Each structure stands twice: as structure tokens, then as C-alpha cells.
Amino acid sequence: MFNKIMKRGSRKVPKSEVVAEPAAAPVTVNHASRPAVSPPSGAATAAPHQLSPSPAGGGAAAPQIESLPLFRDVPVPERQALFVRKLQICAVSFDFSDTLKSAREKEVKRQTLSELVDFVQSGPGRLAESVQEELVRTVSINIFRCLPPASHENTGSEVTDPEEEDPYLDPAWPHLQLVYELLLRYVVSSDTDTKVAKRYIDHSFVLRLLDLFDSEDPREREYLKTILHRIYGKFMVHRPFIRKAINNIFYRFIFETERHSGIGELLEILGSIINGFALPMKEEHKLFLVRALIPLHKPKPVGIYHQQLSYCIVQFVEKDFKLADTVIRGLLKYWPVTNCQKEVLFLGELEEVLEATQPSEFQRCMVPLFKQIARCLSSSHFQVAERALFLWNNDHIVSLIAQNRSVILPIIFEALEKNMQGHWNQAVHGLTANVRKMFLDMDSDLFEACQLQYIEKESKSKSLEEQRELAWRRLEDVVEGKAMGEDMIVAN
């Protein structure tokens, strides 16, 4: 009952003929029929090969290998046992910071992973429990690792928009991608029994998976997003736990670090989850909106994930229109004071929320809302003023304003008049003229009354300014006269 996440095009996994596993050593590697790595000349393909230690390493010898047949070359009853042996080959970790180190073994592992993915994807039938345990163990060994230091930890720089700089690309990705693909195929397979799989895809596994969302590699976060969403859909028993764990990530991000690479991807998952919420909405979900989603507007890097956040917020209002007042007041609470680009984002989100707002909820928050909009209308930053004026291009919002014009127009009239009299941007000047005409056409009497009130206010303000200037001049005269008197006393 939830929408699919935006699909990513899975890279087609190359098929290969692979062999390997040591006869005696614990590390097994597969390497038959590989065009890239040929066996030594004169040696039989199926014969075991001993790898010599690295001459410069002065340390451990490279693993021994032996040939393993392809899945299609063994009887069906023996394939799961062969699958386990190939999984054991892939449970070996390599150092990818040096591309030349163990290059042969890395390629063997990559081809073996490719074969495992093809095997699971072909629908071999239900895997035995011991096989599933070994599969999850192998996946865990490969993906659960210490992430490299984030760029800001090395440079001390501020978090920037990922579109403005080259993203970090993990050198181990040729292997990691296949491991993630293997996990995804296992999770989505119709042959995977959730009653068995949940023993290995457990709370601990889910938590460690969520930790990886802080990876700076966008390709890894994309796979994690898809896999976690599929786990949420298939393992109903994990759903409350996953929501709570994501909440905790948000709380730490908002109130402690303000640094996390995967907030946008987590919000994409939540957008789909929120879409599937049943009505009437549970109190737990409303608390999540108030305590986590709305405060996510506070951190400085909100622009990086604002699109996904806005989608989640609007989903709540569309599900339950009574939440509109809560959402709008929440936006006003975190409204930026000095960040104009953030203000433009907030105004865009506000328009989407107002589109889903009913008149009864609009009336509850319209006074504080239009006090803020009035400040935006008179902003010297033309993009902020222009975006605020664009609200009057939305028919639903204009309808809400028209129904409550007697309250709204007196609040914003001064901002409109000041724009007409002195805003430096011509586009803002033109849009303001259109909005004024709209109000004049709606209710000319109200417009004239607001105009008279504005003129009186300006006159009083001018009079007060003149009185203030006069008081200052008198004070200056007194000070000047006192100074002259003191000078005369000194001179005498």
C-alpha cells in the first residue's frame, strides 16, 4: 500500500564462467574460463593452483584456489551446496585503495558475485535456511564497514550542495554494487520466506544498513534506498522499528550534527511510506510530523533535501487536511531570517501546502501567515518578493484570500504600497500592480478604506518623524549653548 520509489536502472550484471575455492586454505577463489585471467600455460583448467606470496609484501601468501563448476554444469540438487561454496569465496575482503594489489583475486571475486546474482535472479526455488544464513553473512562482511572520512572532516568545510561538486566514488564499487544487487534480489525474490529471512534480516541488520546511508557515494545510497524500502514492504514486523530508527537519525541530525549524507534518500522512503498511511492517521504518525519532519526545516543544509521534505509534508496535509494549521505554524516557527535562498524554498513549499488547505484550517492561521508574507513582499531581495507575489497566480490560494480579504488586505496593504512607491526591481513592481488591481476588483470599498488608513498612518508617521527631528534639534541647541557658556567661563 505504498508507492514504489523512483526506479533506478539496474546495471546488467555480466555473466561469466567462474571457478574457485581452495582445497585446504580457508579462502577460496574462483577463476576458470575467465578471458581476463588465464591459467598458467600447460596447466589443466580444473587443476588446483598455488599462488605464490607477493615478493614485495614479505608477508602472507596469496590464497590457494581450485576450480568450481558452473551452476549449469551440476545437477539441480547440488546447486545450493555449490552456491554456499561460491558465497564463501566472496566473503573475502580486499584493499581497493591499491588497484594493482591482488588484481587477479579481485576479478575472480567480481565474476563469482556476478554468477551468484544471476543464480538468485533466475529463481532457483526456495533456498535452504543454512544457505540464506550464509548469504546474509557474506553480504554483511562486504557492505558493513567503516566509511571513509567525510570531505568536511578532512577540510573543515561547510556542507555543500552535492550538485555543485563532484561526488565521492568508492573505489570498491565494482564489487559493492554486485553485493547490493545480490541482497536486493534475495529480498525481492518471491521464493524468500519472510518467516525464515527475518532471523537474519533482523533489527541489528537493519540498523547497520541505516548507518550506511551516511555514505558519500550517491550510487551506494541509491541501492540502500531501494533495498530498505523493499525490506519495509516485505517484512511487516520490522516497520515500526524502521520508522523509529529513521526518526533517531533525524533527531541526531537536527539537534546535534547537522551533517548526514543520506537525509534526502531517507525522506524519499518516508514519502512512499506516508502515502500508504491508513486513515484515521495514528497519533504516532502525527508526532513524527511535529517532532521530526517540521524541525528538519531548521538545519542550514535544508536546501539539499528540501524537495523530498516538502513532498513528505504535503503528503500529510493531503492525507489529513486538519494538519494544515500545524504545518503552516511549524513553517513560520522555522522561517529563515537572513537566508534569502531558504526563504524562496519555504515560499514554494508554502504554496503546495496551501493548495491542500481547506478554508476552515486557513482561517486559523491566516493572520500570522500573512504577516510573514507581508515581510516577504517588502523584501529588498527580488527573488523573495517575486516568489511571494507568485502566490496570487494560484487559483485556490486566491479563492482562500478572497473569502478572507477583510482580514488579509489590511495586513499586506502597506507592503504593496511600499513596493509600488519604491521597489528597485521592475518585475516586482509589475507583479505588485497586478495584485493591487486584483484586490481593487474584489472589493473596491475595502481597498479604499485600506488606502485611507495607510495615508493616515503615513501622515502620523511623518508628523512623529518631524517631532522627533525637532526634539533632536532642541537638544543639540541646548548642548551647544551649554558648551559655549563653559567656553566663556574658561576664557574669563
Could you give the residue ranges of the DSSP H alpha helices within 321-443?
A: 324-333, 340-355, 359-377, 382-389, 395-403, 405-422, 426-442
pLDDT attached to residue 309: 98
**Mean pLDDT of the chain, nearest integer:** 84
Query: Of 347 and 149, which is predicted with more confidence?
Result: 347
Instruction: Tell me what the mean pLDDT of segment 408-416 comes to.
Output: 96
Please check the confidence at residue 35 and state whether its pLDDT lies above 60.
no
Instruction: Tell me what the mean pLDDT of segment 428-432 comes to.
Output: 96
Task: Give the range with max mean pLDDT: 92-106, 117-131, 229-243.
Answer: 229-243
- How does residue 260 score in pLDDT terms, banded at 50, 70 and 90? very high
Instruction: Tell me what the mean pLDDT of segment 247-273 comes to.
Output: 96
C-alpha cell of 45?
A: 583448467
- How does residue 259 score in pLDDT terms, banded at 50, 70 and 90? very high
Instruction: Tell me what the mean pLDDT of segment 66-73 comes to.
Output: 78
Distance CA 326, CA 116 (A): 50
pLDDT attached to residue 428: 96
**Cis peptide preceding 35, ω within 30 of 0:** no
> pLDDT per residue over 367-383, tens digit each?
999 999 999 999 999 99
Which class for 148: exposed (0-12), middle (13-18), buried (19 or more C-beta within 10 A)?
middle
pLDDT attached to residue 412: 97
Please check the confidence at residue 36 and state whether its pLDDT lies above 60.
no
Which class for 97: exposed (0-12), middle (13-18), buried (19 or more C-beta within 10 A)?
exposed
Contact 150, 216 (CB under 8 A): yes
CA angle 180, 266, 5 (to 5 degrees): 70
**Cis peptide preceding 280, ω within 30 of 0:** yes
Q: What is the 3-state secondary structure (H, E, C) of 84-118?
A: HHHHHHCCCCCCCCCCCCCHHHHHHHHHHHHHHHH
Question: 128: number of CA atoms within 13 Å, CB side?
Answer: 11
C-alpha cell of 324?
A: 494544515
pLDDT attached to residue 199: 95
- How does residue 156 score in pLDDT terms, banded at 50, 70 and 90? low
Least confident window among 17-21, 56-60, 103-107, 371-375: 17-21
Packing angle, helices 340-355 and 382-389, rounded to 10: 10
pLDDT attached to residue 20: 36
Contact 315, 271 (CB under 8 A): yes
Residue among 334, 329, 324, 267 nearest 299 (CA): 334
Which class for 337: exposed (0-12), middle (13-18), buried (19 or more C-beta within 10 A)?
exposed
Please check the confidence at residue 470 and state whether its pLDDT lies above 50.
yes
pLDDT attached to residue 158: 58
Contact 28, 74 (CB under 8 A): no
Query: Of 412 and 483, which is predicted with more confidence?
Result: 412
> Grid cell 551446496 — which residue?
81
pLDDT attached to residue 180: 98
